[in-house]
């Protein structure tokens, strides 16, 4: 029985590899056909040029939209949490806490957007000092909103500690969380790690295809490889460390 199960396992594994190879071949074929019909490099160049022309509007508009969504979610969550505390309604407290967390998380998307636009447009000519100033103002606005959200959260939860303007904020904040909150954070981090391992594999394959078919340089492939290696090494080191502490 065990031999049959082992045999089935290897057959299943082989089928997955074969199907993946076929899918990859089909994608590669249609990608080659598509690149033969469309000048991808020219399309990317036009897109980059268009972003450079409207870079300030993209920075301000994207930051404003994301901050508006973040403040809306955080504000509704704040009121919901406060109402739940007054009425001793645990369901409203949990819902409010989730919305506040979503609002705070969306502010980080604002950082990602600003750096993406900045990195895409910074190679263009004649952007001037206004471009850099707009980028800095947008980034500072996001920082200010994040700090204020943390301060507002501490008003609702006096047990929370940590100054968001200091480097050791995350450590102090985590130490002030109870065991249930810490467990939720640890579980989310583990799920994120497992998801990123799969995502990195997909990105590596996409970078390889882009390099082979579109002639894109090695920078994207090197960046993804370094991020994947760093994540794997850090996870392995800390996993070994915490396992040893548990055994001792």
The whole-angstrom separation of Cα 52 and Cα 129 is 14
What DSSP character marks residue 39?
-
The whole-angstrom separation of Cα 121 and Cα 42 is 16
CB 146 within 8 A of CB 103: no
CB 170 within 8 A of CB 185: no
Residue 243 has which token pair?
């396992």
Backbone angles phi, psi at 157, to 5 degrees: -125, 85
The whole-angstrom separation of Cα 171 and Cα 8 is 48
CA 57 from chain centre, in angstroms, equals: 23
Residue pLDDT tens, the chain, 248 long = 455 565 666 666 566 667 766 665 555 555 555 555 555 556 556 666 666 667 888 899 999 999 999 999 999 999 999 999 888 888 898 899 899 999 999 999 999 999 888 887 776 666 678 888 989 999 999 999 999 999 999 988 888 888 888 888 888 888 888 888 888 888 888 898 899 988 888 888 888 777 766 666 677 888 888 988 998 888 888 888 877 765 55
Closest CA to 238 of 199, 185, 189: 189
Burial 202-233 (b: 16+ CB within 10 A, else e): ebeeebebbeeeeebeeebbeebeeebeeeee
Query: Taking each helix axis from N to C terminus, what angle separates 90-121 and 55-87, rounded to the nearest 10 degrees?
Result: 170
Query: How much is the pTM?
Result: 0.72
């Amino acid at each position: 029985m065990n031999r049959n199960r082992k045999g089935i396992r290897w057959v299943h594994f082989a089928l997955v590899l074969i199907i993946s190879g076929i899918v990859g071949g089909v994608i590669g074929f249609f990608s080659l056909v598509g690149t033969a019909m469309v000048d991808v490099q020219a399309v990317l160049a036009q897109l980059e040029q268009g972003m450079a022309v409207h870079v300030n509007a993209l920075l301000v508009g994207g930051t404003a939209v994301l901050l508006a969504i973040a403040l809306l979610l955080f504000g509704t969550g704040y009121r919901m949490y406060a109402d739940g505390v007054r009425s001793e309604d645990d369901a409203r407290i949990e819902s409010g806490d989730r919305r506040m967390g979503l609002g705070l998380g969306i502010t980080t998307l604002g950082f990602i957007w600003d750096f993406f636009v900045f990195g895409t447009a910074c190679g263009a000519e004649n952007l001037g000092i206004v471009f850099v100033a707009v980028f800095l103002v947008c980034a500072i606005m996001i920082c200010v909103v994040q700090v204020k959200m943390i301060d507002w959260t501490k008003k609702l939860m006096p047990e929370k500690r940590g100054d968001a303007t200091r480097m050791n904020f995350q450590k102090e904040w985590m130490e002030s969380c109870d065991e249930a909150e810490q467990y939720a954070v640890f579980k989310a981090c583990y799920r994120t790690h497992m998801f990123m391992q799969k995502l990195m594999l997909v990105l590596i394959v996409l970078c390889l295809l882009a390099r082979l078919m579109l002639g894109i340089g090695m920078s994207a492939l090197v960046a993804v490889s370094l991020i994947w290696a760093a994540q794997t090494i850090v996870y392995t080191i800390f996993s070994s460390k915490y396992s040893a502490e548990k055994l001792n």
